[in-house]
Amino acid sequence: MVKERENRIDLIRGLSLLLIFVGHANFSFSEGLQHSRGFSDASELFVLMAGISAALAYYPRTGIVDLRSLLAKPLRRARKIYAVHVALILVLVGLFSIGLASGLPLFVQASATLELTSFWSDPSGNLASIFLLRYMPGNFDILPMYVILIACVPFFLYFHDRRPLLLFGASGVVWLGAGFGHVNFVNTALPEGHWYFDPLSWQMIFLIGLTVGVRIKTGRPPLPYNRLLFIAAAAFCLLAIPINILFHFHFVEPPSQWLYRAMTSKTNDGILRLVNAVAILYVLWNIDAIRRMANASLLQPICVIGRHSMAVFVTGLLLSDLMTVSMALEHSLTIPEQILLMTTGLLLQLVVGQYLEARKSVMPHSRLQTGESSARRTGPLAPSSHIAG
């Protein structure tokens, strides 16, 4: 059977990247857009796709899961993400150190906006904390969350094949314990003192994505269509939009503020967020028009950025920080100026994706010139490519 790339994964992940950028950029319309999609947002969908992609990349084609043989690739990927994260923070701190030393007011204001001010109260201690993942300003704890989740992939896959009920039971206990017990990792850069994205909570939705990915990799329907389930999921997704808008913007107060906050907590990926994200994925996956759209040439630029998610995410993160600083300037940006900034940021991410895709397409030709023996050494070009049976 011919294996084809599953473009729906790339399309959903690409759209999620663009929506995450807009949400992080703190435009005057960012919060409204963020909460107009229901209880969850693009972050949950992105983590779901990350779980699916991890299974497609690392679940053995033989179907025989051996923990020792599984360890190398995910851990190498986790180290790479860790290195990118540390490099980003060091570059950011270095640039702001130079700017603050020059006495430019812009850097003073920007440092406060990006929650970097506390770094200079204890530079040596905070520098060590950067490497220990204990000092992460703003949205910079997202990559560390992936470091932990990707490092856990071999163990997830091992127990998924041998003790799936035990795996999901343990995952549920950890998710509940982290949420209700407020168990989290230390982040001294944030006023709350903990990670904004708690890996102990977000591992649940990642594991759900991983399970879907294993089904794809093994040729089973990942999200089998059921008419009643589809109607229920679609109804939940549609009703979540006005309910979340009414409650979040205080047009109507929920019956219990504490319970509502717990069920929609982003740090702990509350139950309403988690169910909403899974429902969205189920609905999107079972609409045939989405499959056709994912394969259409018009949307390929979005699929492309989904295929190069880490580079595009880092680009979006830096751009969103730049735009957050712009929004904090004394001169308030008008809506047309904000739309222009947003459009520029979106286009830049699409350009990064196209550049990386073009570079990737050139690589096989250059490798062919090195001869067959070299090709044997390099191995397959894209071992993590998405396939559909």
* pLDDT tens-place string over residues 231-271: 999 999 999 999 999 999 999 999 889 999 999 999 999 99
Domain membership flag for residue 169: yes
Q: What is the CA radius of gyration of the chain?
A: 22
pLDDT in tens, 327-336: 877 778 899 9
Contact partners, residue 114, CB within 8 Å, separation at least 6: 92, 96, 137, 138, 321, 324, 325
Number of structural domains the chain divides into? 1
Token pair recorded at residue 63: 């179907």
pLDDT above 70 (res 18): yes
The Cα–Cα gap between 276 and 180 comes to 20
Whether 238 maps to a domain, the answer reads yes
Residue 16 CA to residue 47 CA, distance in Å, equals: 10
- Distance (Å, rounded) from C-alpha 204 to C-alpha 175? 7
State pTM to two decimals: 0.89
pLDDT tops 80 at residue 75: yes
Give a yes or no: residue 2 inside a domain: no
Please give the Cα distance from 193 to 146 (Å, whole number). Answer: 20
125: in domain: yes
* 4 three-state secondary structure: strand
Domain that holds residue 13: 7-360
382 located within any domain: no
User: Is residue 120 over pLDDT 70?
Assistant: yes
Is position 1 within any domain?
no
Residue 57 in contact with residue 383, Cβ under 8 Å? yes
The residues that bridge with 373 in the sheet, in sequence order, are none
Give the whole-angstrom CA distance, residue 327 versus residue 245. Answer: 23
Largest CA distance in the chain: 69
Q: Is 237 among the domain residues?
A: yes
pLDDT, tens digit, 9 for 90 and up, residues 33-57: 989 989 999 999 999 999 999 999 9
CA distance 334 to 332: 6
- Does 381 fall in a domain? no
